[in-house]
Amino acid sequence: MADRPRRIPEATVARLPVYLRSLLQLAGEKTGTISSERLAEMAGVNAAKVRKDLSYLGSYGTRGVGYDVEYLLFQMSRELGLTQDWPVVIVGIGNMGQALANYPGFTSRGFPIAALVDADASKVGHEVHGKRVRHIDELPDIAAEQHIAIGIIATPAHAAQDVADRLLAAGVTSILNFAPAVINVPATASLRKVDLAVELQILSFYQQQRDNEGDGAAAPAPSADAAG
Amino acid sequence: MADRPRRIPEATVARLPVYLRSLLQLAGEKTGTISSERLAEMAGVNAAKVRKDLSYLGSYGTRGVGYDVEYLLFQMSRELGLTQDWPVVIVGIGNMGQALANYPGFTSRGFPIAALVDADASKVGHEVHGKRVRHIDELPDIAAEQHIAIGIIATPAHAAQDVADRLLAAGVTSILNFAPAVINVPATASLRKVDLAVELQILSFYQQQRDNEGDGAAAPAPSADAAG
């Protein structure tokens, strides 16, 4: 607390992982320093925003030189909590839950999948990608034993709020929701969502608009020259 | 074009799928009319915003009665382009691509997975969930034959921009990016992204903040009473 008096705006927090990714790439290329302009380009934002965002971390760069990549990477990782692991429980082991359980990107990024949980007794006890599915009633024990930091909800829509409530009751206050449902959590918890249907429908909205406006130029069936 | 002179703001477009979901639920419950207040509650926004958003569709509701659910559902589906299918190609058949290829939620929502594509010759010809993987060089033919409307990028980060360029060259102007990379597309195309790493890191940022501020109250290892 002594170390963090300032409040970082939400929009800035959401960009930190994007900067982090650029910095990891730069570090991999042995780049020593980076200008705000170049970092902005990599992250897909403007340079003034980069400078403002980094100032929240206490990083101001050096005029004509830029930012030290290694140090910025250290600051960013520390700020995002990536100097430790955050064990994850996946709740709901249907198609989506199984796909997520099999995705190695969680563990490799410091979010190991510690437990799989389902309400369906017929699924409990089965192994999914090397992990035994446990019953959702065990959630409080699992959360405590496995030091669960993040709950991933991959249930059908109708079960999502109940699962969120159970996660919160078990002390899990960070939730990533894949269920196609609006979930409410108290202000003392964090909720992020990934909604494939919403993303696809936003795309179909604009695609339809282009199809109508362009009179078929960008229609689902591409024209011969566009495809060539 | 004659039918759509107004520009719907991006933020409104992004909320339409959320309203759609609420309306589908209401229709399933045989609810005839809905107030903006109730719809707002279901969608997790405020009522004034709902009224403003729906006004872009030419829907104003009836004072004291609200909106006709069936008609609003029809308008919303039509506006989002959901009265037709939008065939999808998945590019990159690694862990993420395979998981997506196996997810039934695409087809059930009107986004059938029409083709799987990879640049790795050793994957080409193999069947993944009943579909034969084809080489990315065939993309122009596949796009034309299958009337591909949306390209899903599930490649490693370093390949993502090249794949986006190939999709665009093949006439596919709607892209959903799962690769952990910033992609640039022209203004004539649409790009949405799903980035699990970013979502997890935003959660770990706030979790760490709570852990620090709360002196362990919401720590990865939940306290006994919180878990009880």
Do residues B50 and B34 make contact, with C-beta atoms less than 8 angstroms apart? no
Give the mean pLDDT of chain A. 89
- Lowest mean pLDDT segment, chosen from A2-6, A212-216, B164-168: A2-6
Specify the higher pLDDT residue, B151 or A215.
B151
Chain CA centroid to CA A223, Å: 37
Q: What is the mean pLDDT of residues A7-29?
A: 92
Cβ of A201 within 8 Å of Cβ of B17? The answer is yes
What element of type H or E holds A192? strand A190-193
Q: How far is A169 from chain B (nearest CA, A)?
A: 6
pLDDT at res. A34:
95
Q: Alpha helix locations (H) across A44-101?
A: 47-55, 69-79, 95-101
Residue ranges and CATH numbers for the domains of chain B are: 10-79 (1.10.10.10), 88-194 (3.40.50.720)
Q: Over 50: is that where the pLDDT of B153 sits?
A: yes
Which residue(s) pair with A117 in the sheet?
A: A91, A134
More reliable by pLDDT, A107 or B2: A107
pLDDT at A224 over 70: no
Give the pLDDT band of residue B215 (cuts 50, 70, 90). low
Q: How confident is the model at residue A176 (pLDDT cuts 50, 70, 90)?
A: very high
Residue B138 above 80 pLDDT? yes
Higher per-residue confidence, A127 vs B218: A127
Contacts of A16 in chain B (CB under 8 A): 201-202, 205
Shortest CB distance from B226 goes to which of A82, A171, A194? A171
Q: What is the mean pLDDT of chain B?
A: 89
Report the pLDDT value the prediction gives residue B22, as an integer from 0 to 100. 92
pLDDT for A136-147, tens place per residue? 999 999 999 999
Q: What is the pLDDT of residues B172-185, one digit of tens each?
A: 999 999 998 889 99
The interface predicted TM-score (ipTM) is: 0.87
Q: Which residues contact A13 (CB under 8 A, 6 or more apart)?
A: B202, B205, B206
Nearest to A182 among B44, B110, B157 (CB): B44
Tell whether B226 lies on the interface with A, counting CB pairs under 8 A. Answer: yes
From chain B, the residues in CB contact with A213 under 8 A are 1
Please check the confidence at residue B1 and state whether its pLDDT lies above 80: no
Q: Is A187 buried (19+), middle (13-18) or exposed (0-12) by CB count in 10 A?
A: exposed
Most confident of A103-112, B23-32, B130-139: B130-139
User: Hey, what are A199's tokens?
Assistant: 């993303």
Query: Predicted confidence band at B2 (pLDDT cuts at 50, 70, 90)?
Result: very low
Q: How confident is the model at residue B218 (pLDDT cuts 50, 70, 90)?
A: very low
Checking if the pLDDT of A60 tops 90, the result is: no
Helices (H) and strands (E) in chain B, counts: 10, 9
Tokens of B182: 């910033």
Q: Does pLDDT of B141 surpass 90?
A: yes
Model's pTM, two decimal places? 0.80
- A126 to chain B, closest Cα gap in Å: 19
Query: B82, B88, B205: which to substitute to probe chain A, counting the most A Cβ within 10 Å?
Result: B205
Lowest mean pLDDT among A77-91, A205-219, B75-89: A205-219
Per residue in B114-132, pLDDT tens?
Answer: 999 999 999 999 999 899 9
**pLDDT tens, position by position, B203-213:** 999 999 999 88
Count Cβ atoms within 10 A of the Cβ of residue A228 and give its class: 0-12 exposed, 13-18 middle, 19 or more buried.
exposed
